[in-house]
Structure 1
Amino acid sequence: MHNKTETMTVHKIPLPTPFLVGDINVYVIKGDQVVLVDTGPDTKEAETALINGLNNLSLKVEDVDVLLLTHHHPDHIGLAYLFAETALTAGHAKLKPWLEKDEAHYQRFNEFFRAFLLENGMERKWIEAIENQREKYKKFTKPTALEMELEEKESDVPGLPGWGVMETPGHAQTHLSFYRKEDGVMVAGDHLIAHISSNAIVEAPYNEHEPRPETLIQYRNSLEKCSWVTKVLAGHGVDIQNPSKLISERLSAQEAKARMFLEKMNGEKMTVFDLTKKIYPEMYKKQPDLTFSETIGHLDLLRKSNQIAAVKSNGMYVYEQIL
């Protein structure tokens, strides 16, 4: 009998994206079935690169049996529709409205964020800029169906015997990572990237009566969860050969950054957006959503350790240091 690790080979295909993050890596895993993890955005350049990458492995689009999607961002799901006729498409249950481009879902998300960003000090012009950016991102996907919902499980990943699914929320509420139990190799999407720290992006709750997810705290828990992994095949950049070391560095860096945020508050009462502008005086104009996410994530961390408190006054949340 052949060793599964030897017979099930993983191949990386880099694809261009129009986003600041640069190329995305998608992965073909060849065993008894052909599995593709992620797809790249819906652009002609990415589609050509994906088809050429498959051809280099003596494959065509219709040869893919299973499409696994790590999370809902357009650089990871944009070309999923190409595989709708011939492959099983699988991902997190929360991926469904994003993959199907459910307009009611988009509207509910936008309504949540308008109110949420206003009560955390953001001016309307920046909220409108964020909404416009989201509309642009939608153009990099086409609707398709999620045929199988996956949850955390040590076995039975479709098309991948001997692999498990790990729920790794933080960067996205839909985020899944896939790991081979035999040798600890993980295909991790944007969960862990060597050259940049993944942003713990703020999202609306998926159920109306749930609180907003504290994404940086989630992300830290997800990092700790996979500290045993031996190698990470990342969605961007190079393979990570010593994940536990990088995870430890990222966790320490987040704690140091939270201390920096506290120092920048300098005893003042501040809204999230006030502090965002203070710490990112130029960057917030280009990326108001990501800089806001960074700020509120580290404030969540400080609040969890009882170093600051949030008080709502005149319809707006103000953070202050606990002395």
Structure 2
Amino acid sequence: AKKFGVAEELKNKLTHNRDEIRFLSERKLHGYLAEGDELPGLPGWKVIETPGHAQSHLSFYRESDGVMIAGDHLLAKISPNPLMEPPLLPGGMRPRPLLQYNASLQKLLDFPISTVYSGHGSEVAGDEVADLIQYRFDRQHNRAMQVKSMLQDKPLSVFEVCQQLFPKVYLQEVGLTLSETVGQLDYLEDLGEVQTEIQSGVILYSIA
């Protein structure tokens, strides 16, 4: 939170605003699924790793008829929020979820898909998948260019960009809006459109 320049009075919302945490299971894992694995008890269904919306997000694909269960990865009407998560190993580099999400979308184009069943809303017909993914890429790029324009006058922290990008909701949804903002800046940095410097422990972004 400090590196992103988050206002002191909002830092608690990043760690203590989820009452639902008491419902999370504390049971230990006894196995795992990885890319290409067959789903136990469901012959013909293979695991496709699709990180982005979450680091652990999986989709399931049945080659025999081209059906994909995509969860929150590909939705007909909205683009899921790539959520910030801590590094897998303490002290490691933080994930860059929007870049992961884009790569996971690109991966879907390698599969002959007949129907995508999503976690929200209606299914996506196979002949619409490529156009929908391109639409997501175009919308994403245009939004990132909007963020870049915010840096015209002076370098800004993640939080300062977040305030401009989500002026009406950032106070209520600090985690979600910061996740979206960081994703846009990661995307711009990956393209070489922005650069960073650190001042007083805060990362500042400026146009490269």
Q: TM-score by structure 2 length? A: 0.92
Q: Partner residue of 1:156?
A: 38
Q: Partner residue of 1:125?
A: 9
Structure 1 Cα separation of the partners of residues 85 and 5 of structure 2: 17
Q: 3-state DSSP class of the match of 2:59?
A: strand
2:25 to 117, 142, 165: 142
Structure 2 Cα separation of the partners of residues 143 and 235 of structure 1: 24
Q: Partner residue of 2:118?
A: 234
The offset of 1:183, in angstroms, is 1.9
The offset of 1:145, in angstroms, is 4.0
The offset of 1:209, in angstroms, is 3.7
Q: Flag structure 2 segments of 5+ consecutive residues without an equivalent.
A: none
139-148 vs 243-252, greater mean Cα deviation: 139-148
Structure 1 Cα separation of the partners of residues 134 and 181 of structure 2: 21
Q: Deviations over 1:270-315 (max 9, x none)?
A: 0000010011111101111111111111111111111110111111
The offset of 1:127, in angstroms, is 1.6
Structure 1 Cα separation of the partners of residues 153 and 65 of structure 2: 49
Q: Partner residue of 2:197?
A: 311
Structure 2 Cα separation of the partners of residues 156 and 316 of structure 1: 45
How many residue pairs were aligned? 204
238-247 vs 288-297, greater mean Cα deviation: 238-247
Q: Deviations over 1:173-219 (max 9, x none)?
A: 11111110112211111111222210011111011242111110000
Identity %: 36
260-269 vs 248-257, greater mean Cα deviation: 260-269
Structure 1 Cα separation of the partners of residues 17 and 199 of structure 2: 30
CA RMSD of aligned residues (A): 1.4
Q: TM-score by structure 1 length? A: 0.61
Amino acid at match of 1:236: H
Amino acid at match of 1:287: E
Q: 3-state DSSP class of the match of 1:119?
A: coil
Aligned partners of 1:180 and 1:186 also within 8 Å? yes
Matches of residues 1-323 of structure 1 in structure 2 within 5 Å? 117-134=1-18, 136-153=19-36, 155-227=37-109, 228=111, 229-241=113-125, 242-322=128-208
Aligned partners of 2:13 and 2:175 also within 8 Å? no
Aligned partners of 1:267 and 1:320 also within 8 Å? no
Q: 3-state DSSP class of the match of 2:135?
A: helix
Query: Which structure would you say has the larger RCO, counting Cα contacts within 8 Å and 6 or more residues apart?
Result: 2
The offset of 1:146, in angstroms, is 2.8
Structure 1 Cα separation of the partners of residues 90 and 14 of structure 2: 22
Q: Compare CA radii of gyration and give the structure with the larger one.
A: 1
Q: Flag structure 1 segments of 5+ consecutive residues without an equivalent.
A: 1-116
